[in-house]
A and B are shown apart, each in its own frame.
Chain A
Amino acid sequence: MISTKLYNAQSVERFNRLTADIQEAQIKIATGKRITRASQDPVAAANISVAKEQKQLVSRYVSNLEKAQVRLNTVDTLLGETQNIVTRIYELALQAKNDSYSANDRAAVVSEMTELREALVGLANARDGNGEAIFAGYKTDLEAFQADEADAITYSGDRGIHSIQISENMRINTTLDGASVFMRVQTGSGTKSVFSIIKEVTDALSSGQTANVAVDELIKAVDHVSLQQTRVGAELSKAKVQNDVLMKRKVVLEENLSVLEEADMAALITELQTLLTSRDAAQQAFIKSAQQSLFDFLR
């Protein structure tokens, strides 16, 4: 039989422990979290932090993807415009090539073509919402397409293509470089720029040498631009597919996280109830037993 003093001390100790357990259960219920300290379940805690990290990453990929889509759509629109202009020039060239055109008519056509070429330069130097040049490669603060003294358009950008991460191992190009789009049309007589093809046509027309008007090169230019548009289209569809993937991943991750992290309320509340009951019972019992000793019977 242990001493009364130790018995009392141990009882108090047990009540303290019960109270601590009750507190713990209350915190879990209040936060809704299964784990409030890593030491409660180190393995789960590590998994939770990985899952959270993943969730943050996936959200970032989604937001990167949205940015990429915005830019690619801009590029697509610009290329559509380019396509229209080059096609229009092609049509004009076909007409003007016709011998029935007078010199005046040709001059009018040349003047329209020159205007269109100017517009084309404008498109090539277009900037996005942040004021960054779209077709200048990495040199996004440049007006990359400039006319030199001979009115030839030169490209001072580079051939960098900005890309952005849309999954752990996938990147998407957000633009095309200006040189690929405008400067490298493969023609029968080597690589030429869209601008110099147009220039050659207008020069031939203004000098009346209609035979030299290289309509086939303009067709090459139209084809070239549409090829570029296809490239953008491919990136856009890649973006769409990836968007679906990311959305699915997000859902799965959230489910995982909730399984790992969220508390089972029913179980917790039952546990709390049990704890409260045992504390009350223990206290009652202590009061009874501590009150009584054999002395009560010494009368």
Chain B
Amino acid sequence: MASFVHSNINPGLFGKIFRLECPVDRVSFFREFDMMRDIYRVDLNRMFNNQKMKLECPKMAITPGVNSFRSTTSSTSNSTVHADTMSQTVSATWTTWVRDQYIYYYDVETRYEQNRVHAVWSVWTDDATRALYEGVADEITDGLRVSTEQMGQAFERVAAAGVSAGRAMQNLGDAVRRGQEHRIAEVDRITKMAEKRNAAEAKAKDLLLDIIGKDELVVYEETGRVFVKGRKHDYIVQREGFIQQIDKGKIQDLCASINKNKYPLTDNVVAMKLLIESDEDQFLEIANKQGSRKYDELPKAACM
């Protein structure tokens, strides 16, 4: 019952059908054999499909060989037929076709490649069916070649898209990393700048301390203002904001300064104080007038 090994048909069931319906004469037997062959053809298709799967795999492992095939046979000695005891021999071999075949595969290192190999098609069949399946094999091989080529091209496109996507992801990762590094560097730079500015402001307060004294510096640190007496007017110099010129119940805002973005704010207070005290006319010449308003009470400020 070797022929049923590759068949999908249950040999026990088939044997029953064979015994019940198959005539015992020789013609009927070969008709039955044709049916078996038809069934076997299905099996061969499965084998072709298996071979096709192997061909689609980069590593082919086809081991064709030559063998003899003892098929189910019959004898017509009497009207009683038992499939199990039939002894007629039909020779069958592994029939092999060798064709040029293009194999496409994608390798991580070598990338996409196309190689020409020998595709080996082997079927377990007898001489009678060999010719029939030879054509089928050619047809399947041709179809497989086309589908394999298409598959290879699809692999190539997928691989190219994968490489492109990988590069895009890498670029994105690099950009994110650069952004993070830039942000860290920026925070570090701002922190250092703030530290330098605070140190500069501390030195500027030391200078102001030498000019107005310790007690008034406490007031300045509280209010951020210094009262300055000029020859014509009195002024309130603020660490931040306009210089206030005090004049008969009215405050005139004036704007003059050293570069506040560059130098400490308290140095600006010192500079304005020195200029107003020494050369008020020059100060008034430099300063631009802004808004004015009446006041009821002057704000608190440090004074000498």
Q: Do A and B come from one complex?
A: no
Binding site for A on B (CB under 8 A): none
Binding site for B on A (CB under 8 A): none
